[in-house]
Structure 1
Amino acid sequence: MEKTPSYFVTKETPHRISAMSQETKLIVVVRDPVTRAISDYTQTLSKTPDLPSFQDLAFRNQTLGIVDMSWNAIRIGLYALHLENWLRYFPLTQIHFVSGERLITDPAGELSRVQDFLGLKRIVTDKHFYFNRTKGFPCLKKPESSGSPRCLGKSKGRTHVQIDRDAIEQLRDFYRPYNVKFYEMVGHDFKWE
């Protein structure tokens, strides 16, 4: 098992993984591309306080609604384009998409689908989670052999930077055709609006 967020969006990765093993099962966590871009920006801003504004990075010309697709925070959310690259090397039956939103609201349900995809017995259930109000995320309850529960790291759960409503709507309009294509490709509507 291996996990790295950049694998799905790095052009050479599908070929490399396929060369290693064509039987590999792939799990990709996706979330609303607009929320994902804002989250990416928020995390980067926490490390680089003098970063230009979100709008300056997201748009080549916001007045005309021209989005800068070269900015990584925007480019990553073009899931349909990345999936096309993966489908050159792997059948869709070997790729499972996890809803990042449902992973927060129903972690046991999402993990049940992952266990099914991997052909594993359903062991992880609701009883393994509790909601951490401070983080705003579910956390794993501590196993009896451990002294503390397992929660997301300190970089997760931070409050997002407030972004102008018009910019958000422009980005929703921009992503809509890519999202629809992605939904069609995977046979599932993630309802990002």
Structure 2
Amino acid sequence: MAALIFALLFFINHSPVASPRAIGHEPPSTRRLPDIIVIGVRKGGTRALIEMLRLHGAVVSARNEIHFFDRDTNYRLGPDWYRAQMPLARPGQLTVEKTPAYFTSVKVPERVVRTKPAVKLLLIVRDPTTRLLSDYTQVFHNQLEKRKRPQPLEDLLMRDGDLNLSYKALNRSLYHVHMERWLTVFPADSIHLVDGDALIKNPLLEMKKVEKFLKLEPQINASNFYFNATRGFYCLRAAGKERCLHDSKGRQHPQVAPAILQKLQEYFREPNRRFFDLVGRTFDWK
């Protein structure tokens, strides 16, 4: 009997223990502070960018814009509240959220670095004039939905024949002003710039750069994109399903007098140069 007990104990102590995965149990999913934040820019293509990021199996995204860092009422709720807004993620997956208002908010960079100093930041930028027109178009349609009468763009943009420098949409396109603030807090290698104009024309090329920046195993490929001639831009394909961005994306911009467009392009020339110097690259903007 003693020999039998000894043999049983030896077998138990020296038998391999099956891992949870081996017996059919996945490691538990948890909510955690984001590994990646899409900080902006508003109307630069942030929705397209995060939807394309979701094509990668190692990335999970928050469902809505959280506005944790730019809204004092949310920020006062603390990191635990912020974490609770995140999606469930398995070990090895990266969590991402996007709130375009972060880029232009004065308080946000310091708040982000205090909360998650090692976070990776994605900033998508477009031609400043195009971004301004898209910004106005969104506000225009929002006001129509609320049954309000939108102001014509010229009334907002011009004052006594000159550009109205207090127009918020104009200031959002002064990228160098806001970028300087972020670079005083975060090292340049923690911020990746996505070319929003290039993302529209060749989404795969831009997303391969994002994968590399995030150190993701290459997974997004040409089969994930198809051009929708009716919508006039690329849509997404994954797991046998096809989907396009919301109808609010790709709206036609208002007609603007050529003289006003020229004023805008001339005005942005120097700010653009300063932005290029700041980030060490150029973009194909007029």
- Shorter-chain TM-score bucket reads over 0.9
The structural deviation recorded for 1:172 is 0.5
Is residue 2:217 matched to residue 1:121?
Answer: yes
Aligned to 1:60: 159
Aligned to 1:190: 283
TM-score when normalising by structure 1? 0.92
Bigger relative contact order, structure 1 or 2 (CA pairs below 8 A, ≥6 apart): 1
Task: Provide the rounded CA distance (Å) in 2 between the counterparts of 1:132 and 1:142.
Answer: 15
The structural deviation recorded for 1:97 is 0.8
The structural deviation recorded for 1:137 is 1.5
Aligned to 1:32: 127
The 5 A counterparts of 1:1-193 are 1-49=96-144, 50-61=149-160, 63=161, 65=162, 67-144=163-240, 148-193=241-286
Task: Provide the rounded CA distance (Å) in 2 between the counterparts of 1:69 and 1:135.
Answer: 34
Partner AA of 1:169 in structure 2: Q
Structure 1 unmatched runs, 5+? none
Partner AA of 2:216 in structure 1: L
Task: Provide the rounded CA distance (Å) in 2 between the counterparts of 1:126 and 1:169.
Answer: 37
Percent of aligned pairs with the same amino acid: 39
Determine helix, strand or coil for the equivalent of 2:122: strand
Runs (4 or more) in structure 1 with deviation over 3 Å come to none
The structural deviation recorded for 1:184 is 1.1
Structure 2 unmatched runs, 5+? 1-95
Q: Is the Cα contact below 8 Å between 1:135 and 1:158 reproduced in 2?
A: no
Output one character per residue of 1:67-114: Cα deviation in whole Å (capped at 9) or x when no partner. 223222111111000001101110111111111111110100000011
Q: Is the Cα contact below 8 Å between 1:103 and 1:110 reproduced in 2?
A: yes
Aligned to 2:83: none
Task: Provide the rounded CA distance (Å) in 1 between the counterparts of 2:171 and 2:97.
Answer: 23
Task: Provide the rounded CA distance (Å) in 2 between the counterparts of 1:39 and 1:59.
Answer: 17
Task: Provide the rounded CA distance (Å) in 2 between the counterparts of 1:82 and 1:11.
Answer: 8
Q: Is the Cα contact below 8 Å between 1:109 and 1:125 reproduced in 2?
A: no
Task: Provide the rounded CA distance (Å) in 1 between the counterparts of 2:165 and 2:180.
Answer: 17
The structural deviation recorded for 1:60 is 2.5
* Count of residues paired in the alignment: 187
Determine helix, strand or coil for the equivalent of 1:26: strand
Largest Rg, 1 or 2: 2
TM-score when normalising by structure 2? 0.63
